[in-house]
Amino acid sequence: MVLLVFVDLDPDLAALDALGGFSVLRTGVPPRGPLPTLARTYAAPEVDHPGEVYGDPIIFRVRKVAEGLRAPEPRVAASVAQLGLAARLWSIALGAAAVYGHLPDLDPELLRWDPDGSAPDDLWLSEVRALPVTAIGTVVGDGHLGPLETALRSRYRVSRGLLRGNAASALAGAWRQVDRWARTHGRTDVADRARTLAVGLLQGPGLAGTLDPRTLRRRSCCLYYRLPGGGLCGDCCFDRPPDRTGGRRGTTPRS
């Protein structure tokens, strides 16, 4: 018999601290405010919001990533930026659902984002209120990843398949992190909840078919190899970086 241990959400979501920076979520008022909400971030770029220091938060973030990594083209930086935010959202949601047995409401209106920040100081939840773990796909997928995909595609030449592959890869990474922590600490209940949720999500709308179900390897590429000094990610669909000179070397995805 498996003993299920559920913990009520605490005001600081302190139980997430043990899972690491990508899973940690700050609560309350950001010290660097005013920060845009993620609802504002996903909005059309022509909407004017006086007083905000970042202008269009997505464009600001992509430019920051491009400058930091010396990205050769905007779509590469857009992919890396989206992958990072997707990893944050999945890590928080899956970690909380697995550890607490409840999900904090991550409504885009409640989450403030610092496009100039890094984990865990980039996201702040203004109010902690609990949702059932069954809402995780709606909360993250419909509430964030769908609008983020639309926002990025309206600003940059980046494919839907790439962005959804990023979202699935980020979820798989979050699952591995929670699973490692759970097994290290003898929390089989946490590991089981994380697995059940992750497998269901990867088979669900928007993510189904993006990863190999046996190996969790991608069926698309995030373009990280195009960065100076960049190689292939551990779950890349390629065996070796594609030939950017027009040849065919390495362009066949691995199965």
Return the pLDDT at 196.
Answer: 97
Return the pLDDT at 81.
Answer: 96
Q: Which residue has the higher pLDDT, 238 or 149?
A: 149
Secondary element (H or E) of residue 90: helix 74-100
Q: Report the Cα–Cα distance between both ends of the chain, in Å, rounded.
A: 37
Mean pLDDT, residues 145-159 taken together: 94
Return the pLDDT at 250.
Answer: 47
Mean pLDDT, residues 213-242 taken together: 86
Which one, of 165, 158, 44, 53, lies nearest residue 113 by Cα?
Answer: 53
The yes-or-no verdict on residue 54 having pLDDT over 80 is no
Q: Which residue has the higher pLDDT, 176 or 253?
A: 176
Residue with the two structure tokens 């990474």 = 173
To the nearest whole percent, how much of the chain has pLDDT over 70?
Answer: 89
Mean pLDDT, residues 16-31 taken together: 92
Rounded distance between C-alpha atoms, residue 10 and residue 100, angstroms: 9
Rounded distance between C-alpha atoms, residue 82 and residue 89, angstroms: 11
Return the pLDDT at 198.
Answer: 97
Which one, of 59, 65, 103, 107, lies nearest residue 84 by Cα?
Answer: 65
Phi-psi region of 206 (alpha: psi -120 to 50; beta: other; left: phi over 0): left
Return the pLDDT at 48.
Answer: 55
The yes-or-no verdict on residue 46 having pLDDT over 90 is no
The answer to whether residues 128 and 104 touch, using CB atoms and an 8 Å cutoff, is yes
Rounded distance between C-alpha atoms, residue 194 and residue 198, angstroms: 6
Whether residue 34 is preceded by a cis peptide bond, meaning omega within 30 degrees of 0, is yes
Q: How confident is the model at residue 242 (pLDDT cuts 50, 70, 90)?
A: confident
- Token pair, residue 237, equals 């669909």
Q: How confident is the model at residue 172 (pLDDT cuts 50, 70, 90)?
A: very high
Whether residue 132 is preceded by a cis peptide bond, meaning omega within 30 degrees of 0, is no
pTM of the entire structure? 0.89
The yes-or-no verdict on residue 134 having pLDDT over 80 is yes
Return the pLDDT at 6.
Answer: 54
Mean pLDDT, residues 211-236 taken together: 88
Return the pLDDT at 156.
Answer: 93
Whether residue 120 is preceded by a cis peptide bond, meaning omega within 30 degrees of 0, is yes
The yes-or-no verdict on residue 59 having pLDDT over 50 is yes
The answer to whether residues 108 and 42 touch, using CB atoms and an 8 Å cutoff, is yes
Return the pLDDT at 230.
Answer: 82
248 exposed, middle or buried (CB, 10 Å; 0-12, 13-18, 19+)? exposed
Question: Side chain identity at 175, as an amino acid letter?
Answer: W
The answer to whether residues 141 and 206 touch, using CB atoms and an 8 Å cutoff, is yes
- Other C-beta atoms lying within 10 Å of the C-beta of residue 89: 27
Q: Which residue has the higher pLDDT, 232 or 187?
A: 187
User: With the C-alpha atoms ordered 76, 162, 41, 198, is the resulting torsion angle positive or negative?
Assistant: negative
Q: What is the mean pLDDT of the chain?
A: 88
